[in-house]
A and B are shown apart, each in its own frame.
Chain A
Amino acid sequence: DADVTQTPRNRITKTGKRIMLECSQTKGHDRMYWYRQDPGLGLRLIYYSFDVKDINKGEISDGYSVSRQAQAKFSLSLESAIPNQTALYFCATREGQGDTGELFFGEGSRLTVL
């Protein structure tokens, strides 16, 4: 089983629908991240969390919200999906207390908004 698991792996939805992407990890890491990846662009940070009570906006948080339900779970929601949110979404975790450790990524959730 993967250490960082994302569900669903693929989702097609319509404009205006609410969508939740879930991430769970068994690595015991405190730090969790949500990124989106678009062709020709680098990974962009949506939200990140350093522990259950800590939520921080990334560079492209508009239109998204998150919930850190437990150390192991970090969910990303699109309240009202729009076509330009069509992308590949990755959850990631990082070990240690600092920021220089490697990121461990989930397998990705491909979202298509029609």
Chain B
Amino acid sequence: GQNIDQPTEMTATEGAIVQINCTYQTSGFNGLFWYQQHAGEAPTFLSYNVLDGLEEKGRFSSFLSRSKGYSYLLLKELQMKDSASYLCAVLDSNYQLIWGAGTKLIIKP
């Protein structure tokens, strides 16, 4: 079957750096997405990777290794507003999105 694994919860300190990992086993691969979801709100798009390597966008970066079935989202200079769930999703060979359960990130002062 298809599977996306992410840690359930992580805690980090304001101003620090945190890396949220995502591993996947899917039937084919057409890209990987990261979304941010604040409690009680809609998910919002953060990044899309289809080629190996690191994509940087401000304080957020996303890395992909297709051979390892692995991605991470790196958040720098953490702010309290970064407290949210981070969802990893993979586009499979049928262009269907397979979603992970999300990682709840708690930022402490």
Contact = CB atoms under 8 A, between A and B. Distances in A.
A binds B: yes
B51 to A, nearest CB: 12
Nearest to A107: B42
Contacts of B98: 42
A111 B87 CA distance: 22
A65 B8 CA distance: 32
A100 B31 contact: yes
A99 B43 CA distance: 17
Interface residues of B, number: 25
Interface in A57-114: 59, 90, 99-100, 102-108
Contacts of B42: 4, 90, 105-108
Interface of chain A, helix or strand or loop or mixed? loop
Contacts of A90: 42-43
A44 B96 CA distance: 11
Interface residues of A, number: 18
Given A90-B42, A100-B31, A103-B43, A43 B50 contact: no
Contacts of B87: 42-43
Given A40-B101, A100-B30, A100-B50, A45 B96 contact: yes
A5 B38 CA distance: 18
Interface centre among A4, A43, A106 (most CB of B within 10 A): A43
A12 interface: no
A42 B101 CA distance: 4
A4 B45 CA distance: 14
A105 B101 CA distance: 17
Interface in B17-72: 30-31, 33, 35, 40-45, 48, 50
Contact of B43 (A40, A44, A45, A105): A105
B45 A102 contact: yes
Interface centre among A42, A44, A103, A106 (most CB of B within 10 A): A42
Contacts of A104: 45
Nearest to A33: B97
Given A41-B101, A42-B101, A43-B99, A99 B41 contact: no
